[in-house]
């Protein structure tokens, strides 16, 4: 009998990879098919093109309130409360950041009141303001 040869790191790694490769391929193929826990394919819901697209970009919408003439959007990304009318170019900032009477420090939820009235919650100072369109 010859003396045993200590396997080198590269030979062990190559041998291990050669044994694991078929198993990894099976795992990769199985995980790429979209199925839920019961093994069923998810239902695809086709969406039609949008009726309208706002000309304003938002980064982190916290709340949206639909009004008769547009939508009110609480955007925490830029700390803005924005009214976006149904006509292009009609976006208007409501109030501004600050500590005054028509100012807010953080945007929060919008709650519907009768008609187009809305309660706006300042998430930073825990105050609420009613607005009417």
State pTM to two decimals. Answer: 0.60
Residue-wise pLDDT tens digits, 85-107: 988 888 999 888 888 877 888 88
Strands 107-112 vs 103-104: parallel, antiparallel or unpaired: unpaired
Residue with tokens 């105050």: 127
What structural domains and CATH numbers belong to the chain? Answer: 61-132 (2.40.10)
Strand, helix or coil for residue 49: coil
DSSP β-bridge partners for residue 115: none
Q: What is the DSSP letter of 5?
A: P
Residue-wise pLDDT tens digits, 30-59: 445 555 567 788 888 998 998 878 888 899
């Amino acid at each position: 009998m010859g003396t045993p040869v200590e396997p080198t790191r590269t030979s062990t790694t190559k041998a291990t990879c050669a044994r694991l490769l078929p198993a990894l391929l099976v795992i990769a193929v199985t995980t790429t098919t979209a199925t839920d826990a019961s093994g069923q394919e998810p239902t695809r819901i086709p969406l039609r093109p949008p009726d309208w697209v706002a000309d304003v970009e938002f980064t982190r919408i916290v709340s949206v309130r639909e009004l008769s003439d547009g939508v009110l959007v609480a955007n925490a990304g830029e700390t803005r409360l924005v009214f976006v009318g149904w006509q292009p170019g009609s976006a208007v900032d409501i109030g501004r950041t600050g500590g005054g009477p028509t100012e807010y420090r953080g945007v929060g939820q919008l709650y519907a009141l009768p008609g187009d009235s809305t309660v706006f919650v300042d998430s930073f100072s825990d105050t609420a303001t009613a607005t009417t369109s």
